[in-house]
Chain A
Amino acid sequence: MNPILAASSIREYLAHSAAFQTLTGWLGDPGRSAAIGAALIHAVLILSFFGVAPLVFIWLERKVAGRIQDRLGPTRVGGRFGWLQTLADGIKLIQKEDLCPTAADQWLFRISPYLVFVASFAAFIALPFSNGWVVQNIEVGLFFILAVMSLEVIGVILAGYSSGSKWALFGGMREAAQVVSYEIPMAICTIIPVVAAGSLNLVDIGRMQSGWFWNWLVFNNPFTFLAFFVYFTVATASVKRAPFDLAEAESELVAGFHTEYSGIRWSYFFMAEYGSMFAVSGIAVLLFLGGWYTGLSLVESVGLDGTILGNLIGCAVFIAKSCGLVFVQIWVRWTLPRLRIDQVMMTCLKYLLPISCFLFLGATIWPLALYSATGQTSIWQPLGDRVWPPAVESPATTVEQPATSATAKTALLGLEGAQ
C-alpha cells in the first residue's frame, strides 16, 4: 500500500510526505523534522480539543439539567438550542475582575488553578483517540494517566489552603480525603482489564478489542463486566462529580475549594473538571468498551483498520462513546442527591474497595479455572491474536544464536500471548 495512506501516525505521515519534507528541508534529518512537525500538530490538536470539549459539555450540562428539571435550559444565545451560551459565559468570565483576597497566600492562590489545569491536560498526552492516534504512545500509558490525574488534587488542595478562607480549606481537605481513598479502588478496577489484556499500553489494549462487540473487554469475563460499573462509579467520584462533589458542596460550603476564585481563574477549575470527565470516560471506553471500534466489525472487515480513513472513523466512534459516558455522568448528577461526607467515605472503604479486591482476585483466577475446564484461557478468540499489527515480529537480521535459544524465544513469546 502507499506508505502515506498506510501511515498510522502523523509522524509517519509527515516522514513520507514529500511536500512536508521539501518545506522543512533546512532542518536536515527527515526523521527529526517529522518528529517536530508531529509534536506541534499534536499539541495544537489536543489543546483545541481540551478547549472545545468543556464548551460543549457545559452547554450539554445546562440542557440536560434543564430537561431533567422540566425546564428548557439555554435557548437564546446562538440560535435555537442556545449552543453559544458557554462561549458568552466564557467572554463574561474573562472580563470579570481577577480578585485575590487579602487573607490569601497571594502567589499560591494565583498559581494553583494552573496546576489543576496542567494535571488534567497532561492526561490527554497518553490518551489514544484512534488506532495509533495518540500524542505519545507510552508503553505504560494507563499508569501514566492515572499518575498525572492523581496530581490534579494537589492544585485543589493548594487552592483551598491558600485562599485563607475556612470554606475553601474544608473543601480542599474533603477533596484530599476523598481522592486519596478513591484512588485505591480506581487503580484496582483498571488493573482488572489489564490482567485480561496483558498490557499497560492503551493502544495495544484498544487493538485487542477489534471485531465484534463480544471482543470488548467488558464482555471478556464476568469480573471485567462488574469491574466496569465499579470503575465508572469510582471515576465519577475521582473527578468530584455529584453525588460525590463534597469538595464544592454548595449547600454547606458556599462553593468549597473555589469559594474565593472569580473570573478566568475560576473557569480553569471547570475546564479541568470537564476535561477530566472526558479523560476518565475515555479510559473506560478504552479499557472496557472497545476503544475506537464500532463493535460491529465494520472497519476491520473491509481492511481499513489502521489507515487514515479507518482512523478518522475510529476517532469519531471513540469521541462519541466517551461523550456518551460523559452524558451519563451529567445525568447521574442531576438525578441523585448528594451524599454526606461520611457516606462518601463509607461507600468507598466499606463497599467499593472490598468489591474491587474481590473482582481482582476473580479476574486472576478466571483464566486458570477456564483453562482447566475448557482448555483455553478466554471464552472467545484469544486476546493476543487480535492485536494489529503483531506486537512482536521476528528479527530483521538473523542473529547467530545457540540451538536452544529457539525454544527459549518461543517460551518468552508465549508469555506475551503473541503466538
Chain B
Amino acid sequence: MQITTPNFKENAARALHDAPLQKALKNVEVGFIAKRLAAMDALPEFEALRDSARDIKNHTLAHLDLYLEEYEKKVIASGGHVHFAETAEDARAIILEICRTRNAKTVTKGKSMITEEIGLNDFLEKNGIAPVETDLGEYIIQLRGETPSHIIAPAVHLNKDQVEADFRRVHTHLPPERDLSEHEALLNEARQVLRQRYFEADVGITGANFLVAETGSSVIVTNEGNGDLTQTLGKCHVVVASLEKLVPTLNDCSQILRLLARSATGQDMSVYTTFSTGPKRAEDPDGPEEYHVVLLDNGRTSMLGTEFQEMLRCIRCGACMNHCPVYHAVGGHAYGAVYPGPMGAVLTPSLSGIEVGGNLPNASTFCGRCESVCPMRIPLPKMMRHWREREFEQHLTPSAARYGLKFWAFFARRPKLYRAAASLAMPLLSALGGSKRRIATLPFAGGWTRHRDLPAPEGKTFLQAWAEKQAKETGR
C-alpha cells in the first residue's frame, strides 16, 4: 500500500471532517468495548491468563531460532513446505512462484494482515492472477480499492448504504430492483457471489494467528468460515505468516486463544478456530493437495534484543485501537500505514523506518488505555516514547518542537532560573485566562490553541503552592 504516514496531520484533519466516517466510527466505541468487558468479567482467570500468555511469548521469543527449527521439521514431516522470506519482495516472489507452478488464475484469500503488509493483491494482479478476498469486510474494501482501516474489522469505516452502493455497482449480473436495505440481504449477496469463487480457485491463501512448533500446525481464527473454505476447497493451501506467530505447544496456544477472542470481539471463542497440519492425507476425501508456509521476517529479527522486542508478543486482537481515543476520532486510514492504532504506531516505524513512521508515535495522548487492555501486556506507551526519543535524537522532530524543547531544557537545567521564570509567568498566564479561566490564543502556541483552549494556571507555581501547604500544616 501507499504509506501516507508522514501526512498524518492532514489525514487526521480530513478524517475529523468526514461525516460518514465519523458516523461509522461510533460503531467502534459501541461495538467492542462493552463486549470485551463482559467476557473478561465472566472469566476470573483472565488476569492470570494474561501473565501466562506474556510469559509464553517471552520464552518463545528468547528461543525463537530453535522453535523455528522445530516447527520447520514438523511441517516437513507432515508433508508441507516451508519457505523463508527476508523481505516483503521475497515473500511475494515465493507466493507467485507457487501460484505459477499450479498455473493459478484465481486465488481466494482468507483475511490476512501479513498479505496487506507485503502488498500481495496488487502484485498478483500485475502478474495476471486474480486475488479474491473472501472475508466480508475484506471483500467490501477490495471492491472499493481500499485498504483495511482496522486489523479485525477492515470495513469498520463504512456505513451500510455505502456497501449497498458498492454491491449495486459491481454485482451487475443481479436484478437491479433487488432489496439490499438490510444487513442480512447484503451478507447473503456476498455469500452467494463468493461461494462459487472458492470452487474456482486454484490456490487458497490464509494468514495464521499461531504456528505451533510441537505439531507443525498453522492456526486461523475466524467467525465467517471463509478462511476454512479458502483452505479446504483450493487445491493448494498457502499460509503467509510472520515469524513471531510461533508458540511452543498446543497447550501454550490454548492459553493465548482464551485471550484472543475475548479481547477482540468479546466472544469466549471465535466461531471457527482451525488447526491445519500439512496437506490432505492419502485417505482424506477433501482438503488441499499441497501445503506451503511462507515465513516472513520483514524487519522483525531486527526488533529482537531491542526495546521493541515486546511488540512481537502482539496477537493482533485490535483491543488497543478499540480503546484508543485517537483511533476513535480519526479512524484507521488516517494513520496511513498497514497497521493503525497504538500497535501500528509502534510497529510501523520498526517495519518501515522511523523516517516514514516517526509521526505515528506522536499520534497518542498517552492515556495508557491501550496498555491496560492489551492481553499480552505490551507496554505500548513506553515503546511510543522510545520512538519519540529516537526521532528527537535523529533530528526528525519538527524544528518548532525542537526549539521549544531546547528553550524548556535551558530553564530546566537551571532550577533557580526556572523557578524565577515560572513565578513570573504563572500570575501572567493566570491573568490572561480572565474570568473564564481559559486561554484561547497564545503566542507561539497557535497550533495548539487553534483546536482547544488552554486551562489557565491558578497563579502560583507548584513549588509555591507546596511550600504554602507545608507551612500551613506545620503551623497548625
Same assembly: no
Which residues of B come within 8 Å of A, CB atoms?
none
